[in-house]
Chain A
């Protein structure tokens, strides 16, 4: 007689819906945001499409090992330019592989997801705490004046005018131009930009440290819900400003993986975040400008 805990039916129940949901979301992430190196992009896309259409491949550990190894290979190829979430995506695919080798895939995946989230934020907060030009507000002040991703925020809250932003772009280009002999340029700023930079500095380090603590501390139900609330707040606030949507999606997927197995508010919120992040790509600043 087949032991109930070893039957395919049991396994299916164990995997569904959390594992399957995470697997499908990861496939979407890989299809849209994986490495563009051809010898990684083409095989990974082919594998992901097949696993998207058929349930079988995405429940096989070999599939996730192949995808994880290919993703990490692509990251190694682009190691001088790859963003940190490309590394994390590789680890996550290997986490899906490891979970499928375990007797309790959902529990294994939840534990790994919590650790990956907690450690990512721990390192992120650690770098910021040790960086002198982050703690004194210089990083965000500079970003608000010169980084296109922060231009909308600098205009709407910081009070920087279009002329100021054009001036700052020209100054940055002059400094970076190959034939430049300049060693210093003055950027145009406002007191509100400096205040906003101070707020962003402390908000960022506080929420990242709090998320690291919430996910690494061995808390029970209520403690974990605090972590969920912080992670969702981070994703919705951070990626509205700096739309690194691949990173946002990956955090949401890991959030789903570690949320309670039973249907409820928390997993639903994460899935809503997954959808909402794509809406951040709409040209909101153009709409505001036209209005």
Chain B
């Protein structure tokens, strides 16, 4: 059995002015999870070590924490794979305040989730007497999104939340997806319009952290991309994100190549004078260095092939389901 140092973040607001790391030595039994390692440290070495846990079976979502800088579920991860130079560094989740040791204040996470009305809102005008049934195919459409266990791993590592807590965040956007694509929900349009606003679905950089850290099949980035596609199809285009996507379709669809001079004004809106003025400084800086994109936009060779593909745009819309598209995230 290998001897490993667990370097664990410690902070007790009643005693400590600053956080610190404390080292614990543990012999790793083969196959032991990170959570059981922490349980052993707590029961055998230091009962004051504080962390959340409950089911130990990757269902309750309580034991998410950061290891070597990345969020994961402690009960679902074997400790042996986490050792780096004899050490496993354990930190609390990011993007939230630490209450004690590995326990964070999840309130911002719950608050963002509530904003997307995470409950089914069917049309009740027909006063149904029976429950609303779904076909297996209808359920399959939302199957992945429903697997979210609200562990907060995606919220912890989301790059945008790291600079702006007003962003709705990956878990909330994946939850919005779960109701937007639910065959029984009647608020689809309202939901799409809400998340198309500032701090919503278009503010995600698709950095991929959320899907990489997600311990289930919920894979928020894939859900975000699906919702963007739904917003484009629903014609909810009055925002910079949708106009940006339209700009891509227009220039690549015509010439096979992105027109970098066209895209910025197209995204902010050709009549949005303040925003256009806002683009001027960088445009000028680039122009002065000769770094501006060519004034005359050139097509790729054989651009007619690309135009033909784009001409069937609506025919090639395909509605991904779990069975027809691989998941957009790390697999287990």
State yes or no: do A and B come from one complex.
no
Question: Residues on A close to B: CB < 8 A?
Answer: none
Interface residues of B (CB under 8 A from A): none
